[in-house]
Structure 1
Amino acid sequence: MRITAGDVPALERGVALLGSGGGGDTVTAAVLLRRLLETGVEPVVRAVGELPPASRVVPVGVVGATAAFTEKVPGGDEFASAVGAVERWTGERADAVMSIEIGGLNGLVPLVVAGELGLSYVDADLSGRGLPRLDQLAVAATGRGIAPAALAEPGGQVVVLAAGTDQEIERGARAFVATSGGWAALALAPIPAGELAACSVLGTTSAALALGRRALAAGESPARDRLAAAVDGAVLARGRVLEVARHVGPGRHGSPGFGRGSVTLADHPGGELLRLEMENEYLLALRDGLPVASTPDVLAVVDHRTGVPLPCDAIRVGLEVDVVRLAAARFWTDPQRLPVLQPRAYGIDCDPVLTC
């Protein structure tokens, strides 16, 4: 499958929904993808099964403050530097790249990387949705580990985090981007294509494209059942945002936590109150105080009129919105992996509420 200019709107909508309120600004990422396509380069997306099992696939993505990425767009060398660094460190050449995260801007930027480096793009990722931390990636959840990881920032600095626990690599990456422009290009060690089925979520780019096409086809202000069918999920509430509260969440290892908050809206027409607990993503939905949906299912809030997904940092009082739930990738419902993304992984004392 080739990505063409006609695919960009649907792909952008799909990855924005899968971002679950996080993942960063897809608008800037879509601009970068369109610029690549205007040069005549169309990224080739290949299913894992199409690759020789020994093919080396490098996961890539943007880490750090995604707002900084929008303000300070790539100069063109960051990803080539990161991929080159991890190739030199491991002694293995990349045959293809994949995304670390399908939700948000990382659902689009790795396609640009593939086109610029002349490599195939693999239809898989390490998240299946939007995730806030590297130590939650699928390679961490399956015990494969994140290290070694190479980071390249816009000013030209390149570092390789050669060894350490997943939590140490996460902290090291955060420390690097905090002192070097706010964001960095990330490249992880090559993974043989034959091993991807065990440590990644397969088919996510094609699924995001199909999701985006259905969502766009639903049109503006769709009926409740039409919207539910478009996202292949459920509409949890439709109504006006009554309150948005924000505060700093619990930190780890003496460091401040991510921003935490809640959103409350009145569901039409019955008036039941739906509250969303959020961090970088929407994490838990409660109706009249009772949990009705949670991570790892994808919770998304969309503008009722336009259908555009609203990130956690953009939700405001007075907006008319739809709250939708998309089923989690089967990868995350495995009992051994569920603890990585359940509410308690974010400090919320609640059992996961999953799609039946």
Structure 2
Amino acid sequence: MSPPASRTLRAADLEALAVGLCLLGSGGAGDPQPFASVLRSQLGNGELVLHAPGGLGGASVVPVGMVGATSVFTEKLPHGGEFGAAVAATGRWTGAAPDAVMGIETAGLNGVTALVAALRMGLPYVDADLAGRGLPRLDQLTWVTAQLPLTPCALAFPGGHTLLVDSASATEVERTIRAALAGTGGWAALALPPSPAALLDETACVGTLGRALELGRAHDSLRVLADAAEVAEVLGGEVLGEGRVHDVLRHSAGGGLQPESSVTVLDRNGPVLRIETENEFLMVLVDGEPRATVPDLICLLDRRTNRPLAVDALRRGDEVFVVVLPAPAWWLAPGRLDRVSPAAFAIDSPPLLLGGRP
């Protein structure tokens, strides 16, 4: 079913939106609450229209988001002009100002940053992004898969300076940005080159913010102490297990390309579940047999509160549901899956998706 031509976002929607963005983050992508508070203040009693790309004709749309360590963001707060500065830098280089804003990654913290940027710059917001879920690297974005360039792009740092990158491959962009972040405080606002709105249905994940809202509202309807069947039905996924976190083994290997932790969950009904993670949850094994992998959304929910848990927040003794939700549909088309498959995270497994898709 096609997404509606437009929908609106109000301050009353932000709690549900934040939960939905955490689910799309699949244990990573950062906490959306800091920017959700800013967005709530900006919206006041008003609303923000979430435009579908097809409703904007020949408009030029610029993707924006935050890059770097989301944990550092709360320590080194923005001054408010970073996204505008990054967009202005790309505009100076290309000689064209954008007509609208979209997200780079509509998940976790970045699910809200583009909304805040659109309001601050006074530009329409387009409900499309280049990931559809939490992804750790810029060279995994939909544009890279579609063989579109990520340059010229611009970084604006909280210290007030900007960096422009041009004529670089996606891998070089990723490497350059990570090197710059290491010496400049840990995070920056990123603006990619503008795209014609008419191309986004083919080159971007359309309707991701709408999906986050729907997931958040569905999650809100869960009863306290819901059972596994209710969680699966309400969220539209599958519960692979429920039980207690027995161990969280954290390690670092392969320069960040190997899973950084293994989470062991002892199921109430006997099986042992192991969840391999990097920045996000990547694979679930049940009694040693792989059962679910990226790009499906693997989520761990607190069994007492139903709240999504982040990879770095898991502790021994947590009572959890291990839930799998469907991957963004964009990634399931022919020729696209390899960029977000387990092999892209140095995991030796074929993609294992709900219902055997694609």
Change (3 A) 1:258 1:22: farther
After superposition, the C-alpha distances for 1:243-266 in whole angstroms (9 at most, x for unaligned) are 100111312xxxx65771110101
Moved more, 279-288 or 225-234: 225-234
> C-alpha offsets along residues 48-93 of structure 1, whole Å, 9 cap, x if unaligned?
12111x2000000000001111222211110010010111111121
User: 1:208 corresponds to which residue?
Assistant: 212
Equivalent position SS for 1:235:
strand
Q: Quote the offset at 1:31 in angstroms.
A: 1.3
CA contact (8 A) 1:32 1:109 kept: no
Q: CA, structure 1 residues 233+259, in 2 after alignment: closer, same or farther (shift >3 Å)?
A: closer
Q: Which moved more, 1:220-229 or 1:143-152?
A: 220-229
SS of residue matched to 1:291 = strand
Q: 1:11 aligns with which of 12, 17, 25?
A: 17
Q: Which runs of 5+ in 1 are unaligned?
A: none
Secondary structure of the structure 2 residue equivalent to 1:263 = strand
Matched, 1:43 2:42: no
The offset of 1:116, in angstroms, is 0.8
Following superposition, the deviation at residue 330 of structure 1 comes to 1.5
Match of 1:43, SS?
A: strand
User: Are 1:42 and 1:115, in contact at CA under 8 Å, matched by a contact in 2?
Assistant: no
Which residue is 1:227 aligned to? 231
Q: Which residue of 1 aligns with 2:184?
A: 180
- Give me the TM-score of the superposition, normalised by structure 1: 0.95
How far apart are residue 162 of structure 1 and its match?
0.9
The residue aligned with 1:264 is: 264
Please name the residue that 1:320 is paired with: 319
Give, in whole Å, the separation in 2 of the partners of 1:212 and 1:119. 26
- TM-score under structure 2 normalisation? 0.95
Point out 4+ residue stretches in structure 1 off by more than 3 angstroms: 256-259
1:89 aligns with 2:93: yes
Shift of 1:327: 0.6
How big is each residue's C-alpha offset from its partner over 1:23-44, in whole Å with a ceiling of 9 and x where there is no partner? 0112212112112123x55322
Partner of 1:354: 353
User: C-alpha distance in 1, partners of 2:92/2:258?
Assistant: 34
Q: 1:26 aligns with which of 17, 21, 32?
A: 32
In the alignment, does 2:58 pair up with 1:64? no
Mapping of residues 146-295 of structure 1, within 5 Å: 146-251=150-255, 257=257, 260-268=260-268, 270-295=269-294
Q: Which residue of 2 aligns with 1:108?
A: 112
Task: Name the counterpart of 1:301.
Answer: 300
Whether the 8 Å contact between 2:258 and 2:346 is mirrored in structure 1 is: no
Contact in 2 for aligned 1:25/1:70 (Cα 8 Å):
no
Q: Provide closer, same or farther for how the CA distance between residues 258 and 42 of structure 1 changes in structure 2, counting only shifts above 3 A.
A: farther
Q: CA deviation at 1:235?
A: 0.9
SS state at 1:147 partner: coil
Asked if 1:311 corresponds to 2:310, the answer is: yes
Identity between Structure 1 and Structure 2 (%): 47
Distance in 2 (alpha carbons) for counterparts of 1:228 and 1:72: 38
Q: Would you say the 8 A contact 1:260–1:278 is kept in 2?
A: yes
1:119 aligned onto 2:126: no
Whether contact under 8 Å (2:257, 2:345) holds in the other structure is: no
Question: Which residue of structure 2 aligns with residue 342 of structure 1?
Answer: 341
Equivalent pair of 1:241/1:317 in contact (CA under 8 Å): yes
Partner of 1:330: 329
SS at the partner of 1:175? helix
Local SS of the residue matching 1:2:
strand
Matched residues in 2 for 1:344 and 1:174: separation? 22
- 2:40 maps to amino acid: R
Q: For 2:80, what is the secondary structure of its paired residue?
A: coil
Partner AA of 1:49 in structure 2 = G
Shift of 1:142: 1.1
Residue type of the alignment partner of 1:88: R
Residue 131 of structure 2: SS of its match in structure 1? coil
Contact in 2 for aligned 1:41/1:115 (Cα 8 Å): no
Could you tell me how far 1:308 is from its partner in structure 2? Answer: 1.3
The verdict on how the C-alpha distance between 1:274 and 1:259 changes in structure 2, with shifts beyond 3 A counting, is closer
Shift of 1:225: 1.6
Distance in 2 of aligned mates of 1:2 and 1:74: 26
User: Aligned pair count?
Assistant: 349
Aligned AA for 2:47? E
- Whole-angstrom distance in 1 between the partners of 2:224 and 2:134: 24
Aligned partners of 2:258 and 2:163: how far apart in 1?
A: 24
**CA contact under 8 A between 1:43 and 1:112: conserved in structure 2?**
no
Instruction: State the match for 2:4 in structure 1.
Output: none
CA apart distance, 1:230: 2.0
